[in-house]
Amino acid sequence: MAVRTQDERLRPISLWQRLLLRPELGSIAGLVVVFGFFAIAAGGSGFLTWAGTRNYLEVAAQLGILAAAVALLMIGGEFDLSVGSMIGVAAVMMAILSHPDYGGLPISLSLVITLGFALLIGYFNGWLVLRTGLPSFIVTLAMMFILSGANIGFTKLITKLTIVSGLGDSLAKDPLSFLFTGAFLGLPAAVWWWLGVTLVLSWVLLRTPFGNWIFGAGGDPTAARNVGVPVRRVKITLFMLTAAAATVVAAIQVMGLGSANVLQGMGKELEAVAASVIGGCLLSGGYGSVIGAGIGALILAIVQQGIVYTNIDLDWFKVMVGGMILGAVILNNYLRKLSMQVRR
């Protein structure tokens, strides 16, 4: 009598096993813990009010836009430490081009020109990494200093200051500014930008051939090339994407404040990496989630604003971020090992 055996590939897996396959699992658990802590510790101080919710959502939105692009780049096996400086460059460039005393251009045209410049910087970063074979950490670290120094130098040369202000009238006349500073259903435009960018990039990662190429380029570039993946084009595109995300964040800030300064974006590159790591991205590449990076950004925003509501010294924010990064890396590696066992 023949014995019928079940094909292991058709073996059903449990809900828990399905969850283990998702990189966001650790960040979701972290979000529940962090929100629960501040809800208890600061619930009576306004943290749970609609105003308190708007505060941390606005903080999370700008970081989340940046983290979504940075997460894709990390999954592709690279880093971009110049995105923080790119925010400052894009903000000042946009402000100078549209300021009536300097460029005098419509804000919409200034945004297009600034975006084009940012894409060139992103392309150059990617090209230099692939051309020289140097680690992207080193190349973009150098670019971070170059952009930061050049931004200060050129801004002082043109305006004699490090701040470009007085854009209120120009912004009020341009309908484009509403897309970056308005509100819909009680939520600021930045939050809708964040949700839109996160959903689109997550769809690209999980539902398109380009998303498979990203995983391949980050997991094993040599093997990916051997099966026809255009690794070079994928990585350059991802560097351009991080520069574009920095420009969107800069536009939100400039149109919201009516001014720009050379220090905008300082430190945001590390916060974006932190959000991505907390969200499930591995530093080695080939694994991660855009949704997880968004959750990571939300966690950091809740911590930053929650500390204010609990009257804890804000200097402790960095201590908590460092602890969360370390914990996230350990947890992500553990969950990654469990997910590999499930796949077997």
CATH of the domain at 245: 1.10.3470
Concatenate the DSSP letters of all residues of 32-69 into one string: HHHHHHHHHHHGGGTTTSHHHHHHHHHHHHHHHHHHHH
Q: How far apart are CA 302 and CA 342, in angstroms?
A: 33
Q: How far apart are CA 191 and CA 168, in angstroms?
A: 22
Cα torsion angle, 171, 172, 177, 183, sign: positive
User: What is the pLDDT tens value at each position of the chain, 344 positions in all?
Assistant: 444 444 444 455 665 556 656 777 778 888 888 888 888 887 677 788 888 889 889 999 999 999 999 999 999 999 999 999 999 999 999 999 998 888 788 888 999 999 999 999 999 999 999 999 999 999 999 999 999 999 999 999 998 888 888 887 777 777 788 888 888 888 899 999 999 999 999 999 999 999 999 999 988 899 999 998 999 999 999 999 999 999 999 999 999 888 889 999 998 999 999 999 988 888 888 888 999 999 999 999 998 888 888 877 777 777 877 887 787 777 777 766 766 665 55
Tell me which residue range forms the domain holding 172: 48-333
Q: Is residue 177 included in any domain, yes or no?
A: yes
Q: Is residue 23 included in any domain, yes or no?
A: no
Q: How far apart are CA 220 and CA 75, in angstroms?
A: 11
Q: Is residue 27 included in any domain, yes or no?
A: no
Residue 261, helix vs strand vs coil? strand
Q: How far apart are CA 339 and CA 287, in angstroms?
A: 11
Q: Is residue 40 included in any domain, yes or no?
A: no
Q: Is residue 157 included in any domain, yes or no?
A: yes
Q: How far apart are CA 286 and CA 111, in angstroms?
A: 33
Q: Please check whether residue 217 is in contact with residue 227, taking contact to mean a CB–CB distance below 8 angstroms.
A: no
Q: Is residue 283 included in any domain, yes or no?
A: yes
Q: Is residue 279 included in any domain, yes or no?
A: yes
The domain tally of the chain equals 1
Among 223, 206, 255, CA closest to 95 = 255
Query: HSE on the CB side for 13, CA within 13 Å?
Result: 15
Q: How far is CA 11 from CA 5, 53, 339, in A?
A: 11, 43, 15
Q: Is residue 3 included in any domain, yes or no?
A: no
Cα torsion angle, 34, 40, 41, 45, sign: positive
